[in-house]
Amino acid sequence: MATPTPTATLDLAACFPGAVSADARPGYKGWIIEKDKLVEVATAIRDELGYDHLTAVTGVDYLPEGKMEVVYNAFKTTGGPVLTFKVQVPRIDPVEVPSVTSVWPGAEFQEREAWDLMGIKFTNHPDLRRILMWEGFEGHPLRKDWKEAFYEEDAKPFKSRWPEGRHVMAEERSPFKDNITFPKDFDPEKWVPEGEEALYGALAKYQTEEDGLKTDHIVINMGPQHPSTHGVFRVALTVDGETIVSLKPVMGYLHRNHDKIGERNTFLQNMPFTDRLDYFNSMSNNFGYAVAVEKLMNIQVSERAEYIRVIMAELSRIQNHLVFIGMLGNDLGMMYTPALYAFEERELVLDIFEAASGSRMMCNYFRFGGVVRDLPEGVLQKINDLVFERLPGKVDELDRMLTENEVFISRMKGVKVIDAENAIRYSITGPVLRAAGVPYDIRRADPYSVYDRFDFDVAVRQNGDLMDNYLIRLDEVRQSLRILQQAVKQIPAGPVMPGKPQYQVRVPAGESYGRVESPKGELGYYVVSNGKPNPWRYHVRPPSFVNITALEQMCIGVKIADFIAILGVIDIVLGELDR
């Protein structure tokens, strides 16, 4: 891993006179690119400046200014902070921005999301369909003038709760009275969903004409109710025999518009909602959001809290990877034995979360500037016992049980998931990227919290096949244990919150992109504040969602049975994918 390069001197406006200007709004940083020059400048950013990995793409609706903005964040896989650049267009439909998928194919799904939720049309996008909302849905819910079915007020707290809070059942405020608008002449009796056609139309066709016989395309739908899809996730695929020709993921079954809820909430109220993203790792989710907002607030986190945060995040990574290995067993037909062994260790980790935060999965443990409470008595001892005495042995046991198993090896070895070049092109992060041979880990490349104080290696494997994707998880668990062993020894005494806990935090106007290395990849939060108690824009860049962009690329040409294993090693979780 190269040391992060200093980027403070980078002046894009000077490099591209006339096409780029600095973003001068107070609290904002980065560059604003002219819409017509976007692809050209983006290509130069990638090729000449070395920002080869486009990580986050999202839209912001600046309704009062009459503008729409698309925000891009890119980084160098050799390390260093992200480069933020933006495109601004007037907020008059059709809002059109050129697609950057020709430069970074990994932008595909994120642009589709921005189209779906924000109504920003990306010209030259290969497959611009809705992605999270269903086909046939009217409107773009993340626009500031769009109101949801149970709309009450623009921002919480709602006035109806106090001091005259006479309870009304949520369901009594019927969503079909005034908040739902149907398209003109809409007749539900006659309506046929057209989305399915668009979906199947997007699947590639193939022809086998060599022997002169006409062949039918076989389209297979897997999911949304299928145990191998790890939740309500669906793929439509065409196969030639057993080989996958084309594949399109269908998602959004668990969509609740997390971003919109987040923009109605106050800054603090978002914290428990982040728990529900990747529900296996609520500690990491809290971490990312806290980092983003603390950047914006410009406050110092107390020392002890930093250590507690790292301990919790690493414990979370360990249990995530152990369960990953167990569930991978299920995907491969190795039913339940490894999964149950993994769950045993996970329970012990969750006991610690519960004792510290009050909940096993929905931890809601982080606050801006620290954590809710210090570790209760005995918890540090428990962590100590686990990371020194129990977990190392248990990881070895799992290793012994699976790694050398010949059946396992012949199933896993040599089945390609993705190679390094494509992994970068498709914006993949996390263990899948590292298994492909790219040693990129935010804890090292762009350190946050106190990760720069620990001695650990960035786990990396070279082949990018299923086997390496499994092995890298074992490596990472061992590295996490190393970090934990140092952290529990070094943890200083002191307060866990600077100052008094406040329920109304003051967040100065501006934007920030905070990112952490969650067990599944880069978890980013893009937050825009206009100085009010509620965020103007709150966006989550979930690793599961972005990693799935390359699913088709990974699966073309492989057997359908391998698809399940490939989906398994990407390690998706639907709470985060669908948001």
Partner 1 sequence: MYGKGIFKGLSVTLNRFWTTYTEDIRWLFSGKKRYFNEDGVKARAGKDTKGIFTVQYPEERLIIPEEFRYVPFLVYDEGADGRKEVRCTSCGICSKVCPPQCIWIVRTNDPNTGRPVPQPAEFYIDADICMNCGFCAEYCPFDAIKMDHDFEIASYDRNVFNLDKLLKPAAYYESIRPLNAARENEARKAKEAAKAAKAEAA
Strand partners, 487: none
Q: How far is the CB of 389 from partner 1 (least distance, A)?
A: 6
| 503 touching partner 1, by CB under 8 A | yes
Nearer to partner 1, 190 or 500 (CB): 500
Q: How far apart are CA 464 and CA 419, in angstroms?
A: 6
Report which secondary-structure segment, H or E, holds 537.
strand 537-541
Nearer to partner 1, 102 or 403 (CB): 403
**End-to-end C-alpha distance for the chain, whole angstroms:** 33
Q: Are 115 and 128 in contact (CB under 8 A)?
A: yes
Residue of the chain from 193, 227, 414, 501 that contacts partner 1 (CB under 8 A): 501
Residues 6+ apart with CB under 8 A from 162: none
Nearer to partner 1, 397 or 421 (CB): 397
Angle formed at CA 324 by CA 58 and CA 371, multiple of 5 degrees: 60
Residue of the chain from 162, 183, 209, 492 that contacts partner 1 (CB under 8 A): 162
Q: Secondary structure of 439-495 in the HEC alphabet?
A: CCCHHHHCCCCCHHHCCCCCCCCCCCEHHHHHHHHHHHHHHHHHHHHHHHHHCCCCC
Q: What are phi and psi of 374, to 5 degrees?
A: -65, 160
Question: Under rule CB under 8 A, which residues in 351-370 are in contact with partner 1?
Answer: 351, 354-359, 362, 364
| 269 touching partner 1, by CB under 8 A | yes
Q: How far apart are CA 544 and CA 550, in angstroms?
A: 11
Q: How far is the CB of 313 from partner 1 (least distance, A)?
A: 19
Q: Are 152 and 70 in contact (CB under 8 A)?
A: no
| 452 touching partner 1, by CB under 8 A | no
Q: How far apart are CA 89 and CA 75, in angstroms?
A: 24
Q: How far is the CB of 272 from partner 1 (least distance, A)?
A: 4
Single out the segment in contact with partner 1 by CB under 8 A; choices: 125-133, 205-213, 262-270, 432-440: 262-270
Residues 6+ apart with CB under 8 A from 67: 88, 89, 90, 91
Alpha-helix residue ranges (DSSP H) falling in 77-148: 108-118
Binding mask 34-73 for partner 1 (x = CB under 8 A): ----------------------------------------
Report which secondary-structure segment, H or E, holds 68.
strand 67-75
Nearer to partner 1, 154 or 421 (CB): 154
Question: What does the CA dihedral 165, 170, 176, 180 come to, rounded to 10 degrees?
Answer: 80
Single out the segment in contact with partner 1 by CB under 8 A; choices: 46-54, 197-205, 386-394, 420-428: 386-394
Q: How far apart are CA 436 and CA 423, in angstroms?
A: 7
Residue of the chain from 136, 157, 193, 495 that contacts partner 1 (CB under 8 A): 157
Number of residues this chain uses to bind partner 1 (CB under 8 A): 57
Q: Are 369 and 302 in contact (CB under 8 A)?
A: yes
Nearer to partner 1, 57 or 322 (CB): 322
- DSSP label of 383: H
Nearer to partner 1, 142 or 402 (CB): 402
Nearer to partner 1, 49 or 401 (CB): 401
Single out the segment in contact with partner 1 by CB under 8 A; choices: 118-126, 197-205, 375-383, 521-529: 375-383
Q: Are 249 and 563 in contact (CB under 8 A)?
A: no
Q: How far is the CB of 397 from partner 1 (least distance, A)?
A: 6
Q: Are 536 and 530 in contact (CB under 8 A)?
A: yes
Question: Under rule CB under 8 A, which residues in 323-352 are in contact with partner 1?
Answer: 337, 341, 344, 347-348, 351
Nearer to partner 1, 157 or 494 (CB): 157
Nearer to partner 1, 157 or 557 (CB): 157
Residues lying near partner 1 in the complex (CB under 8 A) are found at 156-158, 160-167, 169-170, 265-266, 268-273, 337, 341, 344, 347-348, 351, 354-359, 362, 364, 372-373, 376-377, 382, 385-386, 389-390, 397, 400-409, 501, 503
